[in-house]
A and B are shown apart, each in its own frame.
Chain A
Amino acid sequence: MSTPAIHIENLTKRYGAGDTAVDALKGVDMTIWPGEVVGLVGPSGSGKSTLLKCLGAVIEPTSGRMTLGGQAIFDESWKIDDLRTLRRDRIGFIFQAPYLIPFLDVTDNVALLPMLAGVPDAKSRSRALELLQALDVGHRAKAAVAQLSGGEQQRVSIARALANHPPVILADEPTAPLDSERALNVVRMLNQMAQQYQTAIIVVTHDEKIIPTFKRIYHIRDGRTYEEAGEGRAV
């Protein structure tokens, strides 16, 4: 068996201290393999966003162990700049709203990530075009963000998440603003990209339309996760 893309053990996160302390995560265990798309489902206040922020190296967990591609992170040797580099090179983000940079065109929105990582401009743009074509928005490569439909914007944000070929993508309710057909289309693309680039994708959702498409689902409730086999319905 290969190395898991993400592996976390007994992860906890406490906000505040003393009487006002809140335990958002109370011992989360999770393992995601390369090329796998898993769902993370839970009600509001269950700890989804906190877990996502820990997985995204945005906030530091209080305790527990977390590895990314077999490498431990958040141990004592990690610094802020290391986390920034980690986010840039090894984690892709897809948000509920696309949050594209409005003053950059479609290609540069995607190419910005490799450029930030030091990849030459021409190579970054050709990589961006390749991804945009794979996601069927290549024809809008020179368009301004404001000229795209909601679905197109979401596809561009998927391309941006994949731009540095990260081993892990975190998708925070990526289908929330979309209708059923477009939502399933996004899931289909995520599955396709996960297979093509061997990327592990965690999709945080409470969208009933897409939950049956996951082969594995992590339920999170009161700061703890429970794994469940999904239907893995074809899309």
Chain B
Amino acid sequence: MINLAGRDILHGWGKFLFTGIGLGLLIGVTLTMAGVYRGMVDDAEVMIDNAGADLWVVQQDTLGPYAEPSSVRDDVARDLLGQRGIAQAGNVTYLTMQVSQGSKEARVMLVGYEPGKPGEPEYLVAGRPLARAHYEALADIKTGFALGEQVRIRRHDYTVVGLTRRMVSSSGDPMLFIPLKDAQEVQFLKDNDALLNERARTASNPAFNRPNVPGLLEAVQASQAASHFVNAVLLRLQPEADAQAVAGEIRRWQHLQAYTRAQMEDILVARLIATSAKQIFMFLVILAIVSAAIVAFIIYTMTLNKIREIAVLKLIGATNRTISSMILQQALGLGLIGFMVGKLAATFWAPLFPKYVLLLPGDAIKGFALVMLMCALASTFAIRAALRVDPATAIGG
């Protein structure tokens, strides 16, 4: 039996192909939106992986350090090391800021860490780890910085000595790693004018500037200029340690909040990017509805253009099944072309997006099934119209 749908497609292949391409671009946008969501989740998971920690210790009653501000004294790490089950502790600071290199500017997440402790990037794609105590940096390649370049962060220039990959914040900003002391200064210390003003204000306060207490003013001013706070302490546990139990001990005895890896994932994926995910989901729903409406309209128009042929086919004895099958196959064919074009387009343009777009094969398979289902449903309008055609219309009068 002749495949009527295939013959009709071949007869008007140009129109069919261009319609498929148009639909494909729309499907490509839909797949990309799904990829943007997957990318956000993956960024969050990669950030957790790259921290190399089993527990995150943060300020009590906060969701820090990524979702909320958190401030912990840096000597807490030493206390924690004395606790059973903890193998390593590392202080870290996180600060999202704008940095510049010559005329280039980049928005980065500045990470302060202690070399050799949790929080250090696990691998480099070029260069070497930090070797000096100050003014060296490791940059994610998405910052666009190259080895040996000088990056201006606040008052100081940092030399990029190593490059990393896939080290991004949950909002997609690439990470720039510097020594902890430098990061604390960047995050907590004030600029020179502010320090002078602060010193003057303290000196004019009689409570701190007592004539009969020598050294008090200097001590107060010194404490104002130094910072001993970090955003979190990352812990690596001993192999046999139970993360939940250790976290419970920390909460009880240190009066700090400790999150396990699963809890941190929950904070990042279910809470931090939840609103963005809903936003993207809404876009996906709207795009799917628009795609379905377009397919329905195209197939309906194509069917109406063949109404005389359909009447003739019915008159000469073609069954409703033959006619329905022809329209359904065309709708599915359009969906197939659209999906192939969409997948190809999404694959090509995904790397051009500023944020990570992750196109998963599983999503593509689900997308394909959804497109086919959508096309099949959309074809029902055209099938209904075709089946209502009276074969008598082929005969005049």
Contacts and interface: CB of A to CB of B under 8 A. Distances in A.
Given A53-B392, A116-B318, A101 B313 contact: yes
Contact of B315 (A58, A108, A121): A58
Given A58-B392, A59-B392, A99 B308 contact: yes
A49 B395 contact: yes
Interface of B: 1-2, 4, 7-8, 10-12, 308-309, 312-319, 322, 390-392, 394-397
B394 A93 contact: yes
A88 B316 contact: yes
24 contacts: A53-B397, A56-B395, A58-B395, A81-B319, A84-B317, A84-B319, A85-B317, A89-B317, A95-B395, A99-B309, A99-B394, A101-B4, A101-B312, A101-B313, A103-B4, A103-B12, A104-B7, A108-B2, A112-B2, A112-B316, A115-B2, A116-B316, A116-B322, A160-B316
A103 B11 contact: yes
A52 B395 contact: yes
Given A108-B2, A116-B318, A102 B392 contact: no
B397 A52 contact: yes
Interface size class on chain A is 20 to 34
A50 interface: yes
Given A52-B395, A101-B309, A172-B395, A87 B317 contact: yes
Main secondary structure, interface of A, reads: helix
Most chain A C-beta atoms within 10 Å of own C-beta, residue among B4, B312, B394, B395: B395
A116 B317 contact: yes
B113 to A, nearest CB: 68
A172 B391 contact: no
Contact of B316 (A50, A93, A103, A121): A93
Given A49-B396, A56-B395, A115-B1, A99 B317 contact: no
A173 B396 contact: yes
A99 B11 CA distance: 16
B171 to A, nearest CB: 53
Given A52-B395, A95-B394, A121-B1, 4 more contacts: A59-B392, A104-B4, A113-B317, A116-B322
Nearest to B314: A84
Contacts of B315: 56, 58, 87, 93
Interface in A66-106: 81, 84-85, 87-89, 93, 95-96, 99, 101-104
A102 B395 CA distance: 18
Interface of A: 48-50, 52-53, 56, 58-59, 81, 84-85, 87-89, 93, 95-96, 99, 101-104, 108, 111-113, 115-117, 121, 160, 172-173
Contacts of B7: 103-104, 108
Nearest to A80: B320
B317 A117 contact: yes
A221 B10 CA distance: 47
B308 to A, nearest CB: 6
Contacts of B2: 104, 108, 111-112, 115, 121
A93 B311 CA distance: 12
B23 to A, nearest CB: 21
Contacts of A113: 316-317
A56 B103 CA distance: 83
B307 to A, nearest CB: 11
A48 B7 CA distance: 35
Contacts of A104: 2, 4, 7
A53 B395 contact: yes
A182 B367 CA distance: 57
A137 B390 CA distance: 31
A134 to B, nearest CB: 20
Nearest to B392: A58
A81 B314 CA distance: 11
